[in-house]
């Protein structure tokens, strides 16, 4: 024995390859007072009905660490087997046999619970031969002993050609059928698989004489007794095929094998001692003597196949199906059929893949069928090199969508319109699908398909809004139907299916022979919350109670709705999806014409609550007809089983929602109408065009308005540099929802290079589309800041060069205006130089003061200098002199009076080379308080002395007038 350990298959044992079935099981080994007690037979590590190997029994005794470890290891299969027994019992519902006076149910439940193993040794085979079935050797010996009692003088060789039936996985995801890699009669996986009673046990007896063949035929008394004896050994849950070999005397000399007469045995009908024959089999009650004329051996008779596969690509060729199984045959799922069939010659893969095919589930023109596309083809040689075994994968018409991965954007479209466009893109016509919806088509601002195939895209898009789809199968083809309400689902053609518990007898097809309820604790309510940027003050909140009352709450933030009405609809859809999962049923039947989305009514169940109408949400089909091979082994005919997944029809079906989240970042371009380089809406949002978008859009309509992330924002304040059409931007998704893009920022590229490169790597530069520029230079030897317009015509320069730090304002191409609402202060620690190339004008609304505190003040004019005041004009030198000079004329004019006052010094009016003129429209007064007044030149003058004297000096004094009057107290004449 070889034991292999694997983390996915904890215990796997491969017996001797020479055995068709293991003959020694491992039994439970409890420790009782230091001794090992062998207990009742149970399937274990090594087959059934055997003994624990002696080496293990000896090593497990004692109290050593090794013995305790071995006992602990041997206890693992026992505990796992208890769980396996319960799964088997739950699946087959066996008839229990009383043992040691205990009630059958009590004894079984004790065994299934891991108790009472020591008391089971005396109990007869439990569960009808499933958990305590005999080995191949034991069965062969049992038949040989029975035949020996009937024919003691004749040796009757009995061999078991196949004892171990097909193994069925207990995992619901695998379903019925053989597990990949499991070798019949070779491998057993503990706790993972149980024998499927649909697999027959093949018993071969012979060679026999023709008289013995007649006696053992089904219609004879001895044959009935033999079949009953085998049935008692196997129990009522295993089918068997009995082959009687007869070799005429002349055939062995020719080297030929003998012909075989076969009969198929099914579980007994009621309490009859003789099992019924398989439908469609030929088992003569009076076998005819075999003649030696044919030189080739006869083969077991085969049935007319019921399962067939039609390939349209091969000119309508019909292949015989050996077996098939289904996957994902459910609502809102794309189904798949794994079909194994037989053909006389290989198929050309290029002619088969992608072509339509039809699997017919029965004979006749009205037989149910399943249409699909061939998506996989594996070919292998048939048995003994006869023909080709074709392994064909048949998928629904949606299979091409699952193999098409696209990235595109659908702005302002309804969900159904998007689905229609996707289907039309794959060549679907209106005859291949239809909408059966009640509500209006929900329109989304933006629907984005990113990094997902078309099938996953439309499936999750419909599931989000509560839509689901199904397939209608007919002789002409298959139709995709989309619903938004389970009340519109049709009834199944059979409408009603009665319930009959499986009793081991051959069951009719139009019944349900097993029903299992499945309840799960789910959240009691769904709460959705979101926000809408257009109305941020509105609290978006929706809550929906589930039918199942529990304290759980499923809360979702950013659920993807913009109005309270949308939130209520989405919350109801999610709550109904949870209700769909909270209570469901599994049913088993042999009916072939059921499809997901149909409604059936169950009748006749012992529990009246189960007799009601159900909606079929999923199917699991399995069919076998190995006898369709020309030299196939006799079987009980096509084995067909259907497992239904049901929910009460009063429950609204909603598919499970698996949101598609994307944390990736994508490149897009700013979009806008032609001729409008900057296009924003009233909220400052942009239209973008994703680079991955494969759809065609008119200019400015590639998306809905999208917000841009900014470093600063608020109520009527913020930070925003408008982006131009064609600018490359990086886009992320809010809450990882692909339908809510956000612009993270702009990206430079070769067409729009960055303003900072290796050439100016020390510059921190902000430059607008109009050429306005803010430069912050970080060069080590010349840091500075420059704010300028295009071509630097207007600029502000802050130069921090250590040798000459300075601030400069330049207006090379225009004017410079300084304006202050209140005061304007200019302060410099050194000199101030103002150079004006043209005129300078200083307008002061109030007072103006020009003051120097330590130095002199100079007003120099190249031409005229005009000082004008609307009121008084004061020129004052507080401590020094006031000097006014003019190279040309100097005019002092006053509109009213003019006064020149010298308080402590002299007042001089000096004209070097010209004349001095004084003119007055009125009186001219020259008055001195203490000094004399002198008017004259070098040779003559007039003096007015403080003593009141008027002195006129000159070489000649001439007074001319019409009248001269001289009046005084005394008049003195020169000389006399």
Average pLDDT over residues 650-654: 93
Residues 681 and 786 in one domain: no
Asked if pLDDT for residue 306 goes beyond 60, the answer is: yes
CA angle 244, 245, 251 (to 5 degrees): 160
**Residue-wise pLDDT tens digits, 384-397:** 677 888 999 999 99
Phi, psi of 372, rounded to the nearest 5 degrees: -175, -170
Q: Is the pLDDT of residue 610 over 90?
A: yes
Domain boundary among 97, 129, 161: 129
pLDDT digits (tens, 9 = 90+) for 392-425: 999 999 999 999 999 999 999 999 999 999 999 9
Question: Is 3 within a domain?
Answer: no
User: Is pLDDT of 196 > 50?
Assistant: no
How would you classify the pairing of strands 478-483 and 433-436?
parallel
Considering the domain architecture, whether residues 743 and 766 belong to the same structural domain is answered as no
Pairs from 457-460 (Cβ < 8 Å, separation ≥ 24):
457/406, 457/422, 457/660, 458/401, 458/418, 458/419, 458/422, 458/423, 459/332, 459/655, 460/657, 460/658, 460/659, 460/660
Region 273-284: mean pLDDT is 30
Q: How confident is the model at residue 40 (pLDDT cuts 50, 70, 90)?
A: very low
143 and 258 belong to one structural domain: yes
pLDDT of 503 strictly over 90: no
Same domain, 154 and 172: yes
Give the pLDDT of residue 299.
28
Q: For residues 473 and 370, is the Cβ–Cβ distance under 8 A?
A: yes
Please name every residue paired with 264 in a beta bridge, in sequence order, or none if there are none: 241
Residue 122 resides in a domain: yes
Burial track 182-211 (b if 16+ CB lie within 10 A, e otherwise) = eeebbbbbbbbbbbbbbbbbbbbbbbbeee
DSSP state of 675: T
Do 114 and 146 lie in a common domain? no
- Nearest-CA neighbor of 414 among 462, 368, 459, 366? 462
Find tokens 């390939």 and name the residue. Answer: 311
Is residue 10 very low, low, confident or very high in pLDDT (cuts 50, 70, 90)? very low
Residues 142 and 236 grouped into a single domain: yes
116 CB-near residues (< 8 Å, 6+ apart): 107, 110
pLDDT in tens, 583-608: 999 999 988 999 999 999 999 998 99
Q: Tell me whether residue 149 is in a domain.
A: yes
Domain that holds residue 672: 662-752
Q: Do 237 and 333 belong together in one domain?
A: no
Q: What's the start-to-end Cα distance of the chain, in Å? A: 181
**Tokens describing residue 758:** 């290796």
**How confident is residue 17, by pLDDT bands cut at 50, 70 and 90?**
very low
The pLDDT tens digits of the residues spanning 749-800 come to 998 899 999 998 999 999 998 889 999 999 888 789 999 988 888 889 988 8
Helices 454-464 and 415-425: angle between axes, nearest 10 degrees: 160
Q: Is there a single domain that holds both residue 706 and residue 778?
A: no
**Domain with 526 in it: what CATH number?**
3.30.1920
Residue 226 sits in the same domain as residue 154? yes
* Residue 734 or residue 87, greater confidence: 734
Statement to judge: residues 44 and 116 lie in one domain: yes
Report the CATH number that the domain containing residue 694 is assigned in CATH: 2.40.50.230
pLDDT in tens, 104-124: 555 444 444 433 333 333 444
Query: Can you tell me the mean pLDDT for 556-579?
Result: 91
**Residue corresponding to tokens 């059921």:** 594
The DSSP symbol for 254 reads: H
DSSP β-bridge partners for residue 219: none
In this structure, what DSSP letter does residue 135 have? P
Confidence category of residue 2, pLDDT binned at 50, 70, 90 = very low
* Backbone angle region of 754, left / alpha / beta, with phi > 0 → left and psi within -120 to 50 → alpha: beta
- Range in 20-34, 303-317, 403-417, 427-441 with the lowest mean pLDDT: 20-34
In a shared domain, residues 228 and 113:
no
What is the average pLDDT value for the chain, to the nearest integer? Answer: 75
Is residue 256 one of the residues assigned to a domain? Answer: yes
The answer for 350, left when phi > 0, alpha when psi is -120 to 50, beta otherwise, is alpha
| Number of structural domains the chain divides into | 7
Measured from the Cβ of residue 912, the count of other Cβ atoms closer than 10 Å reads 4
User: Tokens standing for 805?
Assistant: 């730090």
Q: Cβ(339)–Cβ(621) under 8 Å?
A: no
Look at residue 163 in the predicted model and tell me its pLDDT: 63
For residue 366, what is the domain's CATH number? 2.30.110.50
Which residue among 206, 232, 265 closes a domain? 265
Residue closest to 437 by CA, chosen among 488, 480, 491: 488
150 shares a domain with 99: no
Between strands 158-162 and 336-343, the pairing is unpaired
Q: Is residue 796 part of a domain?
A: yes
In a domain, 589, yes or no: no
**226 in any annotated domain:** yes
* In a domain? residue 434: no
Question: Rounded distance, CA 314 to CA 727, Å?
Answer: 55
């Amino acid at each position: 024995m070889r034991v292999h350990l694997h983390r996915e298959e904890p215990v796997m044992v491969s017996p001797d390859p020479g055995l068709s079935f293991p003959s020694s099981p491992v039994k439970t080994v409890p420790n009782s007072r230091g001794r090992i007690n062998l207990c009742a037979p149970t399937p274990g590590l090594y087959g059934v009905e055997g003994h624990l190997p002696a080496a293990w029994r000896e090593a497990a005794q004692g109290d050593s660490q090794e013995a305790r470890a071995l006992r602990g290891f041997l206890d693992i299969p026992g505990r796992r087997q208890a769980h396996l027994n319960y799964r088997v019992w739950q699946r087959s519902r066996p008839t229990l046999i009383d043992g040691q006076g205990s009630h059958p149910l009590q004894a079984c439940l004790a065994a299934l619970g891991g108790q009472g193993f020591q008391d089971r040794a005396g109990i007869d085979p439990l569960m009808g031969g499933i958990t305590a079935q005999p080995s191949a050797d034991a069965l062969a010996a049992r038949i040989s002993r029975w035949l020996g009692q009937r024919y003691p003088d004749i040796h009757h060789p009995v061999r078991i050609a196949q004892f171990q039936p097909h193994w069925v996985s207990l995992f619901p995801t695998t379903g019925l059928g053989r597990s990949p890699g499991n070798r019949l009669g070779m491998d057993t996986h503990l706790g993972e698989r149980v024998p499927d009673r649909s697999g027959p046990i093949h018993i071969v007896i012979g060679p026999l004489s023709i008289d013995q063949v007649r006696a053992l035929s089904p219609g004879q008394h001895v044959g009935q007794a033999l079949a009953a004896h085998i049935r008692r050994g196997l129990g009522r849950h295993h089918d068997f095929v009995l082959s009687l070999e007869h070799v005429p005397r002349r055939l062995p000399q020719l080297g030929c094998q003998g012909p075989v007469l076969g009969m198929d045995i099914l579980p007994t009908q009621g309490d009859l001692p003789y099992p019924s024959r398989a439908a469609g089999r030929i088992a003569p009650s009076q076998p005819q003597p075999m003649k030696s004329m044919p030189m080739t051996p006869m083969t077991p008779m085969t049935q007319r196949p019921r399962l067939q596969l039609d390939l349209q690509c091969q000119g309508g060729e019909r292949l015989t199906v050996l077996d098939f199984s289904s996957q994902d045959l459910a609502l809102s799922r794309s189904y798949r059929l794994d079909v194994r069939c037989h053909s006389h010659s290989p198929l050309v893969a290029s002619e088969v893949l992608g072509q339509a095919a039809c699997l017919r589930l029965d004979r006749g023109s009205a037989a149910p069928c399943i249409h699909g596309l061939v998506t996989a083809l594996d070919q292998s040689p048939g048995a003994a090199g006869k023909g080709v075994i074709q392994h064909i994968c048949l998928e629904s018409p949606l299979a091409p969508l699952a193999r098409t991965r696209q990235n595109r954007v659908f702005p302002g479209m309804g969900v159904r319109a998007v689905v229609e466009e996707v289907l039309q893109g794959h060549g679907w016509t209106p005859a291949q699908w239809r909408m059966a919806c009640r509500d209006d088509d929900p329109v989304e601002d933006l629907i984005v398909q990113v990094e997902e195939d078309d099938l996953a895209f439309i499936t999750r898009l419909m599931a989000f809004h509560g839509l689901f789809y199904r397939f209608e199968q007919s002789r002409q083809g298959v139709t995709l139907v989309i619903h938004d309400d389970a009340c519109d689902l049709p009834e199944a053609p059979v409408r009603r299916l009665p319930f009959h518990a499986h009793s081991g007898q051959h069951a009719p097809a139009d019944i349900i022979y097993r029903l299992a309820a499945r309840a799960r604790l789910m959240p009691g309510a769904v709460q959705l919350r979101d926000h809408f940027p257009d109305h941020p003050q509105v609290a978006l909140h929706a809550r929906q109670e589930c039918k199942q009352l529990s304290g759980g709450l499923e809360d979702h933030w950013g659920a993807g709705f913009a109005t309270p009405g949308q939130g209520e609809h989405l919350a109801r859809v999610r709550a109904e999806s949870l209700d769909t999962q909270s209570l469901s049923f599994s049913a088993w039947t042999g009916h072939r014409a059921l499809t997901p989305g149909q409604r059936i009514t169950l009748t006749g169940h012992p529990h009246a609550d189960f007799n009601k109408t159900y909606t079929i949400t999923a199917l699991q089909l399995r069919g076998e007809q190995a006898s369709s091979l020309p030299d196939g082994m006799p079987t009980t005919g096509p084995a067909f089983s259907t497992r239904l997944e049901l929910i009460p029809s009063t429950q609204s079906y909603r598919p499970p929602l698996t949101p598609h989240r994307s944390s990736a970042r994508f490149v897009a371009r700013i979009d806008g109408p032609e001729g409008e380089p900057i296009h924003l809406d009233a909220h400052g949002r942009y239209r973008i065009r994703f680079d991955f978008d494969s759809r065609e859009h008119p200019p400015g309509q590639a998306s809905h308005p999208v917000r841009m992330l900014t470093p600063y924002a608020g109520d009527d304040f913020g930070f925003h540099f408008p982006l131009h059409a064609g600018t490359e931007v990086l886009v992320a998704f809010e809450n990882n929802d692909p339908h809510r893009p956000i612009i993270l920022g702009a990206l430079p590229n070769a067409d729009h290079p960055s303003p900072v490169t290796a050439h100016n790597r020390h510059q921190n530069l902000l430059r607008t589309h109009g050429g306005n520029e803010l430069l912050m230079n970080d060069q080590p030897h010349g840091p500075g800041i420059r704010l300028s317009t295009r071509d630097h015509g207007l600029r502000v320069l802050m130069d921090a060069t250590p040798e000459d730090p300075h601030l400069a304002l330049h207006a090379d191409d225009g004017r410079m205006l300084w304006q202050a609402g209140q005061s304007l202060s200019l302060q410099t620690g050194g000199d101030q130089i103002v150079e004006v190339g043209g005129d300078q004008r200083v307008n002061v609304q109030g007072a103006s003061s020009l003051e120097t505190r330590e130095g002199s003040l100079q007003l120099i004019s190249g031409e005229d200098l005009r000082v004008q005041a609307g009121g008084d004009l004061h020129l004052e030198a507080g401590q020094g002199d006031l000097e006014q000079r003019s190279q040309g004329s100097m005019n002092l004019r006053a509109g009213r009076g003019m006064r020149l006052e010298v308080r402590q010094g002299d007042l001089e009016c000096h004209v070097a080379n010209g004349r001095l003129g004084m003119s007055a429209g009125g009186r001219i007064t020259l008055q001195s308080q203490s000094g004399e007044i002198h008017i004259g030149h070098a040779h003559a003058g007039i003096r007015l002395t403080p003593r009141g004297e008027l002195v006129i000096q000159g070489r000649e004094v001439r007074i001319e007038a019409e009248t001269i009057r001289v009046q005084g107290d005394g008049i003195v004449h020169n000389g006399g």
